[in-house]
A = this chain, B = another copy of it.
Amino acid sequence: SVNPDIASERQTASFSVEKLTARLDGGAEQTRMRRAVVEAIECDPEFSRENQYFQSQNERYEAAVRKATHLQKKMREMGWTEDGPEYKYIYRALSGDVAFLLHRIFMRSISVLGSDEQIAKWIPLASQYRLIGSYAQTELGHGTYLQGLETTAVFDSSTQEFILNTPKISAMKWWPGDMGRSATHTVAFAQLYIHGKCYGVHPFIVQIRSLQDHSLCPGITAGDIGPKMNFEHSDNGYLMLQNVRVPRENMLSKFCEVQPDGTYVRRGSQQINYFTMTTVRISLISDEVITPLMKACTIAIRYSVVRRQSKLKPGEQEAKILDYQTQQEKLLPQLAAVYAFHFINDYLQELFNRAYREIQRKNFDTLPELHASSSGFKALVSQHCTSGVEICLRACGGHGYSLLSGLPSLYTKIIASCIYEGENTILLLQTARFLIKCFMAASSGQPVPPSVTYLAAVKPGKCPAKNKLDFLSPDIYTEAFEHTAARLISSTAAELQDLVQSGVKKHDAWNRCTVQLAQAAKAHCHYITVKNFAETVERLETEAGIQKIMKHLCDLFALHGIFSNAGIFLHDGYLSGAQMDMVTASYLDLLAVIRKDAVPLVDAFDFTDKCLNSALGSYDGHVYQRLYEWAQKSPTNTQRSPAYERYLKPLLHNTLSKL
């Protein structure tokens, strides 16, 4: 039986949920495949996440390893492969709560950075799990600034080996997943030294544990870095290296090589060593950032139509909390953002595929744009989705704060995405550097990539909108975003130039403009996201009501963006105060429109109850029963605490010593 308060929401959907699901999946065939994978995973009790919220870090780790090994068996049974189309659905069905994810990065590094011989040697071993790999880049003392890594790899031509060392405590590798307790091998990044000369950071395959008995290899100190805000399932580790020798063949050498006599040969850009990070950065946007916000929206919106609190009209029944404007204003912009980001992810994916084809041909020209885009969007989307999940959590009040709602763990996990694979502020500044360069190039008439041609024609102007309905025109709001992004980039470029011309050193000038540079980079990415959403809506089939509701969401995403960043649109008078009032009015009107389809819009994400793992977000809306049933299974109820006999009884019986 379904709670009538949620059932009624589904009867009035303005569009076909099934068709929208297919659109999100990339076609009905994809939807079918996804459901088959999810079904196969979820009906297998080995993959159950039922007790997850009650488990310790040790229990979570063990379960993750158990699932990862069981998954090997399952994949063989089902005929799924690591690089097959099913993998992303497997990952989604497991909610990433599985070990050996870094083993995949280990393999990807070798595939991208290794020579043909290295690939031929290591990939089969890794695919068959004859070893367990990891990826050791970050150190205690260095994260974002890779050039500063302190681990060294000194070439010894007499033995044809590299000697690896972490010469001080800050050089210790810190954070690599799968490394604290599981991995036998890792790709370690170290400063390459040949005959006393440093050639910068390079990747080396290093064995850290015995394949026989899993004991640490000579010269290796390794362990687990301890408790974290989330990722309890992952054995993020530390690693010290003391005179650890690896053969010359263990330096990944597709793009550069050390020859037997110590001659260093480069076959491509030094940048390519960071390419694994770029690929990871792009793939995480969908799996680790957008999907969690989709889940949070599903949970919070379903809860908000079964939770009734207070009265909208005196004498009436208490109202569904989603009928309050303030609740709509919290949740519906998040819903719109999820769709916006889903489509920008498609855009990025395409950009990546194009660039990757070029790189395979050793053409690195597209790397700067790819790097700038992947950096900027990773920062924008992870920041936005993290705060979106937090808003969803808080919008569910006390129940959102219970782990059983699923929202706290979504939050504590997604917040890490603002930090890992490039800290967001650093990433935005890398995007800004690209934008400033493009702006200078465009200003002097040089060619720039298509996504930034708009910088060539920055001019003052006014928004032509005359009433609130005008703001439902994608041309109107897209131009407002374009104008504002261009203005922020050009004015920051001007300020940089002014500072330099007034005698400030270039790097000082840069540092003094970084707050504004980061803001400009964000505005650029925001603009591209709005533009891409509007263009996507135009291309959608008009049938089944999908284009119409997506148009509403696109409008909401854009107007919420203007409403909540009003300052940058008003600053130069592009929008007037009166126009901002129109934006606000249209924005608030849209909330009431989209509210009607809110439940169907989250249903379209098609998460099963097991996948959501939330007492608040189930499809049937029976929230209170589920909270009560789940709470009873908590160890705080099933395990008796010694606290009563030891402390409470003596206290109450007044027999506590000296009392």
Name A residues whose Cβ lies closer than 8 Å to a Cβ of B.
53-54, 56-58, 61-62, 65-66, 68-69, 72-73, 76-77, 128-132, 138, 140-145, 148, 169-170, 172, 174-175, 180-182, 184, 211, 214, 223-229, 235, 238, 307-310, 312-314, 318, 323-326, 329-330, 390, 393-394, 397-398, 400-404, 408, 412, 415-416, 418-420, 423-425, 429, 505, 507-508, 511-516, 518, 565-573, 577, 580, 584, 588, 624-625, 627-628, 630-637, 639, 641-644, 646-652, 654, 656-659
Contacts and interface: CB of A to CB of B under 8 A. Distances in A.
A588 B404 contact: no
B419 A227 contact: no
B398 A72 contact: no
A571 B214 CA distance: 66
Summarize A's interface: helix, strand, loop or mixed.
Answer: helix
A656 B214 CA distance: 16
Contacts of A325: 511-515
A211 B652 contact: yes
A132 to B, nearest CB: 7
A329 to B, nearest CB: 5
A639 to B, nearest CB: 6
- What is the count of identical protomers in the complex? 2
B66 A225 contact: no
Contacts of A128: 654
Nearest to A60: B636
Given A641-B62, A659-B73, A228 B402 contact: yes
Contacts of A512: 325, 588
A643 to B, nearest CB: 4
Given A57-B636, A224-B636, A636-B58, A324 B514 contact: yes
B326 A514 contact: yes
| Residue in A403, A567, A568 whose Cβ sees the most chain B Cβ within 10 Å | A567
Given A398-B420, A635-B57, A636-B235, A69 B226 contact: no
| Residue in A56, A57, A181, A398 whose Cβ sees the most chain B Cβ within 10 Å | A398
Given A69-B650, A397-B143, A628-B140, A634 B148 contact: no
Contacts of A172: 624, 628
Contacts of A138: 398
A53 B228 CA distance: 9
A61 B641 contact: yes
A311 to B, nearest CB: 8
